[in-house]
Structure 1
Amino acid sequence: MAFDAGLLDWVIETLEPMGSVTHRKMMGGATLYLDGTVFAIISSDDVLWFKADAESDALWDAAGCDRFTFEMKNRVASMNYRRAPDDVFDDPDAMREWATLGLEAGRRAPAKKPKVTRRAR
């Protein structure tokens, strides 16, 4: 299943004053980057999720934005992403405000460690 290209186009158009939005397809959805920093994902069911962290959680909670969860075997797991508030879909200023929170969380996230390849002995 492919994600909604119209949603991606809206994000790109709305955030253009902030920088360049790019994406990488991932498990039926897409990871979104703003000038190279992960700030959001679009899930395979066409939901926009902004990156969050402990510093921004209170703001997401106050806005009633659910945490991204998924089922794994016998448990429910979660990731540091929050469902976009409804107003981002028709208010460019709201989109930029919430995307900024996601961008800031992305910038605070620890850098990924490079993959270590083992050489045969």
Structure 2
Amino acid sequence: MDNDALLDLFSGLGPIQIRRMFGGKGIYHNGVIIAVEIRGELRLKADGETEPDFIAAGCTQWTYTGSWHGKLVAMPYWSVPDGAMDDPDEMKPWARKAYEAGVRAGK
């Protein structure tokens, strides 16, 4: 997604900042990372409190196989629920969950 589309998508949460990272983008709100876009896929931050919501919505966790140890690594980022990817109103509660998970992770 281009930056204007991301700004629009997260508009219900409030102002966001977009920074380049890991060959993709980090999306921040109030200095807290709430999402990443890697290889064209947008992933929202989650934690133990919000993961059940993402699972119930049919989302998948971002995982990869570590190159030096060959083990599966699970990242705290989940796919965007159906409908939220195209609608800022649908994205708003998910962006709020991602922000709250990010705040908890920073404590």
User: Normalising by the residue count of structure 2, what TM-score does the alignment of the two structures yield?
Assistant: 0.88
Contact 1:53–1:80, Cα closer than 8 Å, also in 2: yes
The structural deviation recorded for 1:22 is 0.6
Residue 49 of structure 2, aligned match among 44, 55, 58: 55
The structural deviation recorded for 1:70 is 1.2
Between structure 1 and structure 2, the one with the greater Rg is 1
Letter in 2 for 1:88: A
Contact 1:19–1:35, Cα closer than 8 Å, also in 2: no
Determine whether 1:25 maps to 2:20.
Answer: yes
Letter in 1 for 2:104: R
**2:87 maps to which residue?**
91
When the two structures are aligned, how many residues end up with a matched partner?
105
- Structure 1 gap segments, 5+ residues each: 112-121
CA RMSD for the aligned pairs?
1.4
Q: % of aligned pairs identical? A: 33
Displacement over 3 Å in runs of 4+: none
Q: Residue 38 of structure 1 aligns to a residue in which SS?
A: strand
Q: Which one has more relative contact order, counting CA pairs under 8 Å at least 6 apart? A: 2
More helix per residue: 1 or 2? 1
Determine whether 1:11 maps to 2:6.
Answer: yes
Q: Residue 10 of structure 2 aligns to a residue in which SS?
A: helix
